[in-house]
Structure 1
Amino acid sequence: MSSANLFRLVLLAAIWGASFLFMRIAAPVLGAAWLVFFRVGLAALFLWAVALILRRPLALRANWRAFLVLGLLNSALPFLLFAYAARLTPASLLAVLNATAPIWAALIGALLARSWPEPRVLGGLALGIAGVALLAGVEVGALPAGGGLAVLAGIGAAVCYGIASQYTRRIGNLEPHAGAFGNLAAATLYLAPLALLSPLPEQMPPPGVLAAVVALGVLCSGVAFLLYFRLVAEIGPVRTLTVTYLIPLFGVLWGVVFLAEQVGWHTLVGGLTVLAGTALVTGIGQREKTS
C-alpha cells in the first residue's frame, strides 16, 4: 500500500470515528430525526454538487430500486438508530458497536445461504457476540433510564449495515459516486416525513451543535464516501475493510479528548474482543486470494 493510500485510510477512519462524537453533541439537542435528516440531506447536496462539477452521471433512473433499498438499510435506518442511541450512549461505545457490522454481515450471509460457517468464522462470531455482551452488560448499568434501549439501537444499526452489505453483494457493482448519492438521496426522502412530524428545538441550537451537523453531513458522509470509494478502486475492498479496526480507536480517542468520556476496563477488553472477532470473520491478516 502506498503512503498516499495509507494516509487516506487513516484519514477515513479518523473522519468516521468523529461521526459518533458529532452525533453525541447534536442528537440531545436536535433529536434523532432532524439530525439525521440534515445529515443525509447535506451529504446528498454535497455529492450532487461534486457530480455537477465533475460531470459525472448519477444513473438514478437505472438504479432507483437499489437506491431505495440501500437508502433505507445503509443510511436512513442505521443513522437514525445511532442518533437515537447517541442521546444517552458514549461515543466510544457507539464506535465499538459499529465495528460489529462485518460480524452481523457474516451471520446474515450464512443464514441466507443456509450453510454452516467455517470454524474460523464461527469463532469470530462467538468472540464478537461475547465482546458486545460484555460492553452492553456493564454500560447499561451506568447509563440513565432508557440506556438499555439505546444500546440495542446501536446494535441494530450495525445489523442494518450487515444486511445492506449482503444486499450490495447480490445486486452487483454500482458506480461509486452514483451509488453514494443515490442511497443518501433516497435516505433524505425517507426521513423528510419523520422529521416534519418531530418537534424542533424551541431555541436556535448553539454554534457548536450546528457545526456538528454540518460536519456530519459534509465531512462524515459526503467526503468520507468519496475517500472510501477512492480506496476501494485503488487498493481493493479487502484492504479497505481494515478501516473497520481503526474507527473504534478514533471514536474512543475523540470521545476522551473532546467529551471527557471515561474509558473503563470493559471498554478496552470488550472493544479488543469485538475487533478480534471481526478479524476472524473477515479473514483480515490472511493472504488475499488472487483471481
Structure 2
Amino acid sequence: MTRGRIVVVGSLNADLVVRTEAFPRAGETVAGGDLRIGAGGKGANQAVAAGRLGGDVAMVGAVGADGNGDLLRSAVAAAGVDVSAVSVREDVPTGTALITVDAHGENTIVVSPGANGTLTPADLPERVFDGAAVIGLCLEVPDATVRAAAERARAAGATVVLNPSPFGPGARELVPVADVLLVNEGEAEALLGLPSGAVASDGASVRDGFAALGIARAVVTRGADGCLIVDGAADPAHVAAIRVDAVDTTGAGDAFMGALLLRLADGASLIEAARFAVGVGGYAAAHAGAQASYPTAGELAGFLAERGV
C-alpha cells in the first residue's frame, strides 16, 4: 500500500501518572501507587498511534532541553515518526501532564504547557508540509500556530483534521479551519448549543449545526457507544464501538485520532476511517498508559480477531 503522508502539529508532554482507587475530593488526600513517567501529549500521541500502525508521519512541536524532552523525542522517533521539526527550547521546560487513573480506568488530567506554549508559526517549516495528504491539529499549542498550520496545509493540498481539545471558549473560533472535525459527545453539544443527549437522539440537528459552522464532515465520539459520522448532507451514520474491559482510558481518544488520520491519508472514506479508529481506540483503552497502549498493525489484527471483528 502507498501511504499518504501525515503531519501532526501539536503538543509533546511528559505524562506523570499515578493510579488510585478513587479520585480525591476537594481537600482530600488519598493513597496512590508508584509514579510512572511516560511519553504523552495529544500531538505526540496522535503521531505515535499513526506511526506504530505503519503510517508515514512527521511531528511538529517543541520540547525543553531537559530529560523529559529527550524522552519524548526518542519515544516518538521509536514509532517511526520523523521528529526533525520538533524544536528544542533552552529556556523553557518540556510540557507536563499530571494524570490520576482510578480503579475503573477513568482519568483526570492537569496539563502544564511548558515548551508547547512557545510553538509559533515560525516553527512550521514549509518543507514538512510538502506532499502531505493529511494534517492533524489539536489545541495544546497556541491558536495562532493552529491557524497557520491549517493555512499551510490547505496551500499544500492536504486535508485538515482538527481535534479541538482541550475544549474551551476559543474552540468555536478555530473550528472553521477544519475539513474534518473530531469531537466527543459533550464537546459537540456544547459547541452547537444542543441539550444533553442530542447526539444520541437527533443526528440531523448535529449535522445541521455543524453545517451552520461551515463544517461538512465530522466525527463525534461517544465512548462505549461508538461514534456518529457526519459527512455532507447525507443522514448521519453510527459506528459501533468495540466492547472491551477498560484498563486505562488515558490517550484512547488520541489513538482514535491517529488511526483516523492514517486511514484518511490512505484515501479511505470518513466512515471507513472511523470504523478502523474505533478498533484502535478500543485496544488503547484495554491497555495501560497512553503511547504504551498503542498497537502495531499485527497487535491490532490479533486483538480484533479475538473479538470476532
TM-score by length of 2: 0.25
Higher strand share: 2
Asked which structure has the greater RCO (Cα within 8 Å, sep 6+), the reply is: 1
**TM-score computed with the length of structure 1 as normaliser:** 0.26
